[in-house]
Structure formats: C-alpha cells, structure tokens
Chains A and B, each alone.
Chain A
Amino acid sequence: MEKKEYDAVILGGGLAGLMAANIVAAAGFSVAVVSKVFPTRSHSAAAEGGIAAYIMGNSDPNDDPDFMSYDEVKGGDYLVDQDAAELLSKKSGDIVNLLDAWGAPFNRQPDGRIALRYFGGQTYPRTRFIADKTGMALLHTLFEHSTGFKNIEYYNEYYVLDIVKEGNNVNGLVAMEMKTLNPIYLKSRALLIASGGIGMMYKHTTNSYINTGDGQGIALRSGVALKDPEFVQFHPTGLYPSDILISEAARAEGAILKNNKGERFMAKYAPHKFDLAPRDIVSRSMTIEIREGRGFEGGYLGLDLRHLGKKYIIERLALAYDAAKNFSGVDASEEMIPVRPAQHYFMGGIDVDTTGTNHDLNGVFSAGESACVSVHGANRLGSNSLLETVVYGRETGNTMVEFLKSHKNVETNSNVDPIVDAAYAYIKRETGEHFGVLTEELRDIMWDNVGIFRDNDKLAEAVSKIKDLRVRARSMYVTDKTSNYNTELFNALETRNMLDVAYTMATAALNRTETRGAHFRDDYPTRDDQNWMKHTLTYLAGDEIKISYKPVTYTRWKPEARVY
C-alpha cells in the first residue's frame, strides 16, 4: 500500500480545513488536505447570507463584541460555552479583515469600507456579505490563497476510510483514491477533522449530497466523543419542493413569511423580532401553521419579497431570485416563494475545546461544522457558521502549529490492512443489503422521528430502527465490482458513517428530557436548567452508545427566558 508522511493531515477542504491548512503551512509544516471532492465543491460554498463580524470603527456605533456574544448565548438557549462565544465575537472583525486582505471581495459601502446588514437574532446589524454567495466567495478566497503554498498537498477525490491509532496517539488516516480504489496511508501526528455536516441522513435537507458525516463517523469509531448530537438545526426557508436554501438574507432584507390567509404569522410567535427570530423558533412556528391547516396545498408557506421591488431583489438576493425561478418556476418579484423548513445544520459534533483540541485521542483536532466547540449551543444564529469556520479554523491551525512543534510523528507504522479490508469487503460480498435501501430508510426515520418536533415514542422508535439498520449494514454489498471510480462503494461507506452518527443523535435526543433551542420535545416542552444545563457526550462502544456529561462554561450571562 502506498504510504506518505506529513506533519498534519486535514480531512476536508472546506473553509475550516483550508483556513487551518493555510495557517499550518505558513508555519512551515507539511500538510495533506484530503477531500472526497475538489475543495471548491465543499459545502461551505453553499453558505449564502454572510458572516457576522464586529469590526472596530466599521460597525453600528452602539454595538460592541459583548452584545454579539450575548446574542450568541441567548440564540443558543444558554447551552453555549460562553468563553467560546466571546472568543468568536472578539476575533470576528480581525478575521474578516484578514479575509479581505487575502482577496475576499466583500460588498462595500459608498466610502469603500465593508458593508453590513441585519441577520436573525442580532441586536445590531453585523453580517458582512458577498452578494448572497458569501460562502462560495470565501471558500474560493481561501483555496486560492492556499495555491501559494508548496507545502500543502491536495488529495482531491480521496475518500477517508478510518483514523489510524497507535496507542492513544493519532498515526494518520487511510484514504482511498476514488478514481482507482487504491488505498493510501497518510501518516501524521496531527489530524484535523473538518469534514462538515450530516444533512444527507435527513429526507429534507438544504445540505449538499456530500454531507454524510464522514468525519464524525471515523471519529466515533476511533473512540472520540460527539458532543450535543441531539441538536440539529432546521432552516425555516427551504425552497419547496427541492429543499434548496433560500437564504435568511431574504428576511434580513425585508421578506415576510405569510400563511394561506396572507397573515404575517410570525407576529404571533415572536412579537418583537417577527420573521427574524432565531431559526428554531421560526421553523417550529411554520410547522405549527402548516399542521393547523394554514399552509398551502402540498405543505408549504409563502415568503413574500414582492414589496422589495425587482431591481433590489436581483441586486441583493440574486441567488434566492434565481433559485426560486429555476427550481420552482416562481418570479419572486411577482409571486411569493414557496418555502418549508428543512434540515440545515448540525450543532453537535466532535468534542473539542476552544483551541480545537479533542481530549479523547492525542493529535485529533476538529473545526467547523464537524466540530462542537459549543459556540452555537442548542441553536446556531445565521451568519455564525461561516464565522466559526474561519475563526476556529485559524485558532485550531495555531494550536496545531504549537502541537507540531512539541511533538514528533509516531515512529512505528501501524497495521492498516484491516481498515482497507473492511472497505473491500463490501465489494467482495455477493449478496446482502444494498446501501440505497438503508439510506432511504434512515432518511425517513430521521426526518419523521428525530425532526423539528420530538417525543419519547418517536425517539425510542428511531433508536431501535437505527440499531436494526446498523446490523443490516454489516452485510452491505455493492453490485459494481470494478475499481474504476466505483461511486457505489463510496455510497456504501457513507451509509456506514451516517448510521453511526445517527445512532448517537437519536440516542442523545431520547436521553435529553427537556426542550432547548432546536431540540423540541412535545412531552417535555420547557427548558429544564436544573437538570439539563449540561453538554451531552456520546461515545460509540461497539453496538452501544455511552453517554456522559460535561458542564457548560459560564462567564457572565445567567440563563434567562428566551423571548424574541
């Protein structure tokens, strides 16, 4: 088997991975970036609305970083680690300036400074944006910046199989070149998992097809904990019926949600913030409206942009306008855009501290959506995912630099054959379960039972069904026996990862008997700070999930009622 050695291996070529790659490479260390897609295809590209930042001298005169942290803490329903939120806010201006220096073409004010606009849950406007393709523009900026480094090597279209461990230390990972199915052992002492989210396990998701929880899956299998996996964000405005994201920027620019009676129903649920209340609240309100018969036939609501005027819509919300037109046949300047909630973001993730370090396995780091630093708590605010990827991508990159300076690569070569054999087994098997069937069942279970409204029965059923799917997945096989870009094999491997991650999500959701942020229990409809002001940690131990807890870090904000 081919083997190569690097100082650091980074799994994922999205914003978090590339930011860290740039930092680690700038310090002179060798970096391999492994991704199952070419970096610009990463899901970061799909982030639309913007990146929140308090920039000194270029923000609302009444704003300051503490307000921003407070918004995050309240938005996350007090499950946020407050030191993490403060760090995020404090470094937000600085990171946006860095992105600007690296070439990100932020929209400008007439005087040439970076422009800003309101987003959901913000006390003052802080969102910086590049039309409504902010994620794409930032991703390209970081990728293009990285082409200046000779010590970053890209393994594009390589699929990760598993982490290699030697004792309690990371010893790299094994990946497979997708074009040939040739395995490669990438040895390193530091491993950054920055592989993004898990959306494909939900029937309705705004996520890319590639978001299958691969990083979380390999982490779980090597004994690393996922923190708070019960917290999943459902975005209010998925385009009906394709679930393509209509950015929150639309509502930030003045779009209004309306039911079939033409009522601005958010006035009832969030009398102060209306349509710009946090996403969990808006998604639940929409689901109630649809449930109670005030949706349109087919089960959707209207997003009304008409009063903004065609010119303004096209200038500021080009992507939303195009998406509505191309994918639902609606001219948003003349008709309401049909929308319904869809899975959007995974607040849970690989357990790391504010330096990006995981403490289960030496040398494991994580950043971006695959990580849980706990800046989003129980619900993430809009414009904060991009911010987290770059701020914590950089923090983690810096941590890795220090780690690399003080550690040497593990000397021994681990035996990685079993990892490869396990993958090839799917090809060698002639009969069994097919990934397509398992994935479709999983997508239904997660949407129906681990969705916007949850209760004991639904969640218990989900846990038992997922257990069953995991058993069936052991006899998964692929019909395509070639080694010629065999995408069927990779779909099967993705299914394995999704099942492991879904298992922790359903189990943790069943376990948390309260309502908090995006985790809404019909049978426990209120927040229970007494018993549940704590993070869930889930470990995969064979066929069981082990749950433990971790306290929430407070600095200055005491829990209070969450009213918008």
Chain B
Amino acid sequence: MEEKEITVNIKKYNDKDGAFWKSYKLKADKYTQMTEVLRRIKSEQDPSLAYRASCHMAVCGSCSMKINGIPSLACRTIALQAVNEKNEINVESMDYYPGVRDLITDIDGFYDKIYKVMPRLIADESVLMGENEQRMTPEDQTEVWKFQECIYCGLCVSACPSVKEDEKFLGPAAHAKGFRFIDDVRDTKKQERIELLMDSAYRCTSCYMCYEVCPQDVQPVIAIKKTKNYLDQYKGDTPVTVMARKHDDTIVNLIETTGKIKESTLFLKTFGFGEAMRDAVDMLKTGKFKYAFEKDSKVKNMSEIKNMMGEKK
C-alpha cells in the first residue's frame, strides 16, 4: 500500500518541564488512524508519550484531543486526511480541562456534571418487581437513543463557551444525558428532572459548538432546546428562569399578535423599565435610538400565523 511520510507535531506537557512541542516523522497510508499513529510513535520513537486510547472505533470516547485545532477523536481521524499541504499534523490536548501529561487531561469535572443530573432511569416499582412489562414505541426509542449515544468523550464541554464562563451551567453532555431521561416514557421522575435542568438550560447560548464537535452526532444543544420546551411545567424560580419566562412570553406574544419581533418592546418587558431606559440612553449616545421606533408593518395575513401557532396534539 502506498505510504507517505508525515510530520506529527505534538504538544507535550509534564509537571517538571511544562508544555513544549515535539515533532515526529513516520509513514502512514490512507487507512492509518491517528490512534495508530500515536501508538507507533510511542512504540517506536518516544515511549514517554502519554495519551488515552481504548476501542479505536469511536465508541469508548477515550482519545479526545485537538487535532489541527479541531476537537476530535484521534481514532476517527485518518492521518493522511488531516495533514496540511506540508504533510504536517498538530496534536494538542483538549481545551478547558487541566492538563495532566501530554495529551491526557483531567476530566473529573466533566463526569461530576453528569452525575448531577441523576443519570439513571427510575422505573416504576412494579416493573422492578417484575410484575409489569415496560413498553415503548419504536419512535420513542429512536429519540431516547439519539441522546443516549453520548460516549462521555468530553469534547463538547471542552469547546463550550458557556461552561467556561458560567459554573452553574451543567454543560452540553450532562444536558443530553438529563434530557434523555426526561424523554423516556419508562421513567418516573420527570418533574424532578425538569427542576434539575431548567435553570441550567437557560445558561446555554445555543452556539451549536457541541453539535459541531460531537463525534456521535448527539446534538446536545437540541436536547437543551427540547428541555426548554418544558418551561411551563417548571415550578422553580431562579433569576435566570424568571427573566427567561418574561423574555420568551414577550416574544411569543409579539409573534402571535404581529408575526414579528420588536426589540424595543422586548427590552422593556424583559429587563424592566429601568434597564430599558439605560439601553435607550446608550442608543441615544450611539445614534441608534431612532431605529428603536423603526416601524415595520406587521404580517398582513395574521390568520396564517395564528393557525400555525395553535396547540396541536
């Protein structure tokens, strides 16, 4: 099989020397996975190279790292597809997590967030006693499975901007896990789960980074959005959810009545009169105040909008 020489630049790290880059040259063919590249570097050139790897088929989630700056699983990355025009590949540990050694990071914080969402099914007592059988439609199974496919790789959290700035945000993986149980007809703790997740859900900025980097296509941001669908059933009351309610209610109301959103109304209702006035002063300063009263005609055929927004199912 045709082989090509490649250069792999690895950002190494240890407690004594700190971080430094080291380059390795080796040959790869069109099938060579990055896990195999690392194994061969370790076995043939640098036995001290530290990284995690287990299944090499993208189900165990061990080999998470940044390859050419992109949060990736090494096993899912084919070396010759990842090289640049100079046949080079750059490999670093994941962002966000504390470094331990070379490509190994400490992701205990990631696990801790998952544990917080009660990540286990609590079935009805009669089922556990074997008196009742659980049924589930194939459609329901498909949806649960989608969010259950998370492999704990940690890539989504390493790339999430909200996790970095907001310690109260549980992060994408924990939300996917949490929602997977909300969504499971066999579970008996739906309300508790809604209470656990809602405040955090409104700390997600919907930037789709988790969706982008997830090697299993779990789409955690979609799980978060689906969790927010339950806001009406949420009984808790935190500053975040209180504001979210005002904000969302205003939007829905604006769309229901005009088919469009008017930010000036939205600011007023969401932030209250005081804050909205401050915004108005800012806008006066920037010269944008005039736009706040920009009149856009509302949707003419409002019956279409109203009919589409009606309760279904």
By a beta-carbon cutoff of 8 Å, the part of chain A in contact with chain B is 37-38, 40-43, 45-46, 94, 97, 100-103, 105-113, 115, 130-131, 133, 135-137, 140-141, 144-145, 147-148, 179, 208-210, 241-242, 244-245, 298, 319, 322-323, 326-329, 434-436, 439-440, 478-480, 482, 484-488, 491
Contacts and interface: CB of A to CB of B under 8 A. Distances in A.
B120 A148 contact: yes
B111 interface: yes
Contact of B104 (A42, A244, A482, A485): A485
A98 B185 CA distance: 16
Interface stretch (B52-60, B234-242, B298-306): B52-60
Contacts of A322: 58
B120 A145 contact: yes
Contacts of A242: 31, 33, 36, 56
Given A38-B152, A101-B134, A147-B115, A241 B31 contact: yes
B205 interface: no
Nearest to B145: A105
A144 B152 CA distance: 12
B152 to A, nearest CB: 5
Contacts of B101: 179, 484-487
B133 A97 contact: yes
B54 A482 contact: no
Contacts of B50: 485-487
B16 interface: yes
A366 B210 CA distance: 40
B59 A46 contact: yes
Contact of A326 (B48, B60, B76, B104): B76
Interface of B: 1, 14-16, 30-31, 33, 35-36, 39, 42-44, 47-62, 76, 78, 100-102, 104, 106, 111, 115, 119-121, 123, 127-128, 130, 133-138, 140-141, 144-145, 148-149, 151-152, 181, 184, 186-187
Given A434-B47, A435-B47, A46 B31 contact: no
Contacts, number: 175
A147 B120 contact: yes
Contacts of B78: 326-327
B47 A488 contact: yes
Given A45-B59, A103-B184, A40 B115 contact: no
| Nearest 8 CB-CB pairings of A with B | A103-B121, A112-B135, A485-B101, A480-B48, A436-B43, A41-B60, A208-B54, A144-B120
Contacts of B140: 108
Nearest to B104: A485
Contact of A111 (B55, B135, B145): B135
Contact of B123 (A37, A101, A245, A439): A101
Contacts of A210: 54
A105 B134 CA distance: 11
Given A102-B121, A137-B148, A478-B47, A37 B137 contact: no
Contacts of B149: 133, 136
Contacts of A137: 145, 148
Contact of B47 (A100, A110, A479): A479
Given A101-B127, A484-B15, 17 more contacts: A40-B151, A45-B60, A97-B130, A100-B186, A107-B141, A108-B135, A108-B136, A113-B135, A133-B59, A208-B54, A209-B35, A242-B33, A242-B36, A322-B58, A480-B47, A484-B100, A487-B51
